[in-house]
Structure 1
Amino acid sequence: MSAGSKTPKVGGPRSAARLAAVQALYQLDMSDEPKAKMVVEEYVNHRLGQEIEGDQYVAADANLFSDVVLGAWERREEIDGTLTSCLSSDWPLDRLEKLIHAIFRAGGYELVARPDVPTAVIINEYVDVAHGFYERTEASFVNGVLDRFAKAVRT
């Protein structure tokens, strides 16, 4: 979309919440002093559904956004432990790009803590997020790892 365009971003409020959650988790991971509640408040009050650099973003589901960010951040050690077992031995956790890691944490949190959301929906949503930043190879990687993660945590 070109700068100055007023066309809303594609996707519904829940998709927008997931995208924003990945961005917030990335921000927390890059911060020297991460404070998840402050980041959530910043996004809810100043970013979700706002016009940023000429683009109007879809209003995100603030409750889902907050749940995913705070839950994934609080449970990041647990999620990373499961994630480690889903990666191949030649691809350790510290080799992941920070953004891919944020996608895995958000998706992993939903797979662990949101049994009300079907597995296929969670995986598809986070593969879509990956497509927004990466080429097909990385999105396929996200799909495969989240599928293994789901098999490890859901019956």
Structure 2
Amino acid sequence: MSDSAPATSEEPAAPRRGSRRVARRAALQAVYQWLVSATESGDLFRQFQSAGHLKGADGDYFRALVSGVMADPDGLEALIAPYLDRQPEHLDPVERSLLLLAVFELRQRLEVPYRVVINEALELAKQFGAEAGHRYVNGVLDRCARELRPAEAAARG
């Protein structure tokens, strides 16, 4: 088979556009639920799958985001703490969830450009957060990105 041959049904399909966006939205909801109710990870994953919250989402990305935050919340909060004006537990739960998710992505998902991580977090903050929460999230993430991805941040100005 040549490189120009059409894809067959046996080859994996390209991921649908926006599937990570849907995964991030579901991950925000899952991390929020975990923070406010301490739902166990297995229960959380089953609940989101059975309720249809992952329809159209990249399920593996959703699981990686949520698992990553749940595995190291203290480490992630230590990364954002220098840029906060209060203790993480006193943040609005939506903003706290978004910051944890975005900092996890900045630290662990280097294939995702830092501007994409920040923009996705801002869109979710505008949709689910307090009225001016997106400004707060933007300020914290911008400073975290300079620390976690200095070369990328410097190259983008």
1:52-99 residue CA offsets vs partner (Å, 9 max, x unmatched):
xxxxxxx111111000000111011100111111213xx232320111
Change (3 A) 1:66 1:49: closer
2:30 equivalent in structure 1: 24
**Contact 1:37/1:70 (<8 A) preserved:** no
Give the Å deviation of 1:133.
Answer: 1.6
TM-score (norm. length: structure 1): 0.79
Identity of aligned residues (%): 28
Q: d(CA) in 1 for partners of 2:66 and 2:129?
A: 21
Query: Structure 1 stretches (4+) deviating beyond 3 angstroms?
Result: none
Q: How many residues align?
A: 134
Q: d(CA) in 2 for partners of 1:73 and 1:14?
A: 19
What amino acid does structure 2 have at the position aligned with 1:115? L
Give the Å deviation of 1:13.
Answer: 1.3
Q: d(CA) in 2 for partners of 1:31 and 1:47?
A: 20
Q: C-alpha root-mean-square deviation of aligned residues, in Å? A: 1.7
Give the Å deviation of 1:140.
Answer: 1.2
**Contact 1:22/1:103 (<8 A) preserved:** yes
2:83 equivalent in structure 1: 86
What secondary structure, in the 3-state scheme, does the structure 1 residue paired with 2:29 have? helix
TM-score (norm. length: structure 2): 0.78
Alignment of 1:40-119 (within 5 A): 40-49=45-54, 59-88=56-85, 91-119=86-114
- Alignment of 1:126 with 2:132, yes or no, is no
Point out the structure with max Rg over C-alpha. Answer: 2
Q: d(CA) in 2 for partners of 1:139 and 1:31?
A: 24
**Contact 2:48/2:54 (<8 A) preserved:** no
